[in-house]
Amino acid sequence: MSLLDYLLPYDFSPLTVLSYMLVMGFYGIGLLRMPDQDRPGALRIFAFTLGVLICYAVMQTRFDYYAQYMFFVHRGQHLILHHIGPILIALSNPLPVMRFWFEKISPGWKRTLRPLGWVYQVLQQPFIALFLFVGLIYFWLWPSIHFDAMLSRDLYWVMNWSMSLDGLLFWWLIFDPRPPAITSSLGYGRRMLVLAAAGVLQMFLGAWIVFSRDMVYDVYEVCGRAWPLDPEVDQLLGGMLTYIPPAMMSILGILLMLRRAMHQDGKYTNHSKTLEETAS
Amino acid sequence: MRAYFWRSHTKTIPAALTLTTALLLTGCLGNNEEDWNGKNISGLMPELEFDLINSQGDSVSGSDYSGRVRMLFFGFTSCPDVCPTALQKLNQATSGLDPKLQDEVLTLFVSVDPKRDTPERLAKYVDFFGDNIVGLTGKEPQLRELAKRYRTTFGYDEPDSDGNYAVSHSSAIYVFDREGNPRLLMRPDLSGEEIRRDLVALIQEDS
């Protein structure tokens, strides 16, 4: 197989390619056109591009072939779509670029798009966000649903897109760079609680897969593996990818939040403090 | 107002969500009303379509065998265990059918090893497993296309000093109804009797 065969999609999805092109296109043009003082630094641009690229790579290169026929590669794919890719994108803080484009939208369109904003606000309620984030992992790994998702091309695409979009929503809620003291973003304490809960719930599932004696995901057995790997090893590796890296990412997220909270301690005058001062 | 809504329902919302999920899960995961031994794959996969050559060396397509219940199985003739066991089982299942029903079922054995499995060799191999079985093969890209369509794959091991190599392939049997719609996926651990019961149900469904 030539290098090109590895880079070209295994299962070409025009909609997926188009979506990624639009994201990169809007980001690039936004960067070029926005005022210099708003433009993110090189590291942030790099983080964003890397995040988008790795998500694209696991969906539209040869990687996708291995993800379809190997359980542990599939878990790796979701680790990137649901965790690493969105984390990089959220940490890169593309807010200035989004703000640049938002200002270009006409007031009429803004009114039309308002329901989208309401949906977004509902989805970003901490409990709902946590429920969706962990729920989707459990849902797609539910053995009978997983079996169907790997057999049906449509379900497979729904699965991967839902993981990637939910990953973006969740990690944006967690890594929202706007300080909660003066904006409507989620408070640091709640962010840490959500992260801890997500970590623990994923560990339960990962541990269950790792310590399962039976074949839980036999679709790879039934439909043939990409190469003859021992099914138990495949399941063990897949379980470990569900178990360890997500838990580590929750802890890293909590540490990052602690750091931010410490930095911002006393930086912003709290509304209640102002009230106290006025009262005394 | 909106903030008040969320704050005043901090307990109700999680409870309602949990309940909804529980209901959804029981709804989604409940057993199918139809009692198949195989796994129901209606709507999950595309209808039967292929572009291959048969064991006489003629090119054939999916429509050439329409009107019968078809069982699609991927394998290769040098296969030591999986293929002979599966084909034996399918033969058992079909030969145990009422003689009138036997012609309503056809097994399509697709060899994914075109290098070794010439049409002649394929013909000899499938004849051993009964009458209602057709051997099919094709060029590797054609076979890859078909495997991809049914969400499966195959691969070749490195050849040993005698030039023999193992081929990894799907162990499932895909069952299509007379119209070519995907209906059932038979796991290799089903017995001939269980397969037969499903076949009878499929044949009688719309005859």
Domain boundaries, chain A: 3-266
A-chain CB neighbours of B168 within 8 Å are 224-225, 227-228
Say yes or no for a CB contact (<8 Å) between A223 and B152. yes
Give A131's Cβ-side CA count (13 Å radius). 17
A-chain CB neighbours of B152 within 8 Å are 69, 223-224
What tokens appear for A258 in the block?
A: 């602690």
B-chain CB neighbours of A220 within 8 Å are none
Strand order in the sheet with B39-40: B39-40, B182-186, B173-176, B69-75, B105-111, B133-137, B51-54, B59-61
A275: pLDDT strictly greater than 60: no
Average pLDDT over residues A194-211: 96
Say yes or no for a CB contact (<8 Å) between B29 and A135. no
B-chain CB neighbours of A69 within 8 Å are 152-153
B16: pLDDT strictly greater than 70: no
> Of all residues in chain A, what percent carry a pLDDT higher than 70?
96
Average pLDDT over residues A58-78: 96
Q: Tell whether B42 lies on the interface with A, counting CB pairs under 8 A.
A: no
pTM (2 d.p.)? 0.86
Give the CATH fold of the B39-205 domain: Glutaredoxin (3.40.30)
b/e map A124-151, b = 16+ CB within 10 Å: bbbebbbbbbbebbebbbeeebbbbbbb
Say yes or no for a CB contact (<8 Å) between B166 and A228. yes
Residues 17-36 in B contacting A (C-alpha not used; CB under 8 Å) = 17, 21, 25, 28-29
User: Tens of pLDDT along A77-112?
Assistant: 999 999 999 999 999 999 999 999 999 999 999 999
User: Tens of pLDDT along A111-138?
Assistant: 999 999 999 999 999 999 999 999 999 9
B169 neighbors B75 (Cβ within 8 angstroms): yes
Of B39, B41, B154, the CB nearest to A224: B154
pLDDT confidence bin for B131, thresholds 50/70/90: confident
The nearest alpha carbon in chain A to B167 belongs to: A228
User: Tens of pLDDT along B61-100?
Assistant: 988 998 899 999 999 999 888 899 999 999 999 988 888 8
Q: Tell whether B163 lies on the interface with A, counting CB pairs under 8 A.
A: no
A186/chain B closest Cα distance in angstroms: 13
What confidence score (pLDDT) does residue B4 get?
A: 53
A69/chain B closest Cα distance in angstroms: 7
Say yes or no for a CB contact (<8 Å) between B168 and A221. no
**CA distance to A26, A111, A113, A157, B203, per residue, from A56 (Å):** 16, 32, 27, 13, 45
B-chain CB neighbours of A155 within 8 Å are 44
B-chain CB neighbours of A64 within 8 Å are none
Say yes or no for a CB contact (<8 Å) between A222 and B185. yes
Domain ranges of chain B: 1-30, 39-205
> Kind of pairing, strands B69-75 and B105-111?
parallel
ipTM above 0.95, yes or no: no
A152/chain B closest Cα distance in angstroms: 5
Instruction: Name the one residue in this structure whose structure tokens are 């969740």.
Output: A170
B171/chain A closest Cα distance in angstroms: 5
Most B-contacting residue of A62, A223, A230, A271 (CB-CB within 10 A), to test interface: A223
B46 Cβ neighbours under 8 A, 6+ residues apart: A153, B149, B182
Q: Tell whether B44 lies on the interface with A, counting CB pairs under 8 A.
A: yes
Amino acid at B192: G
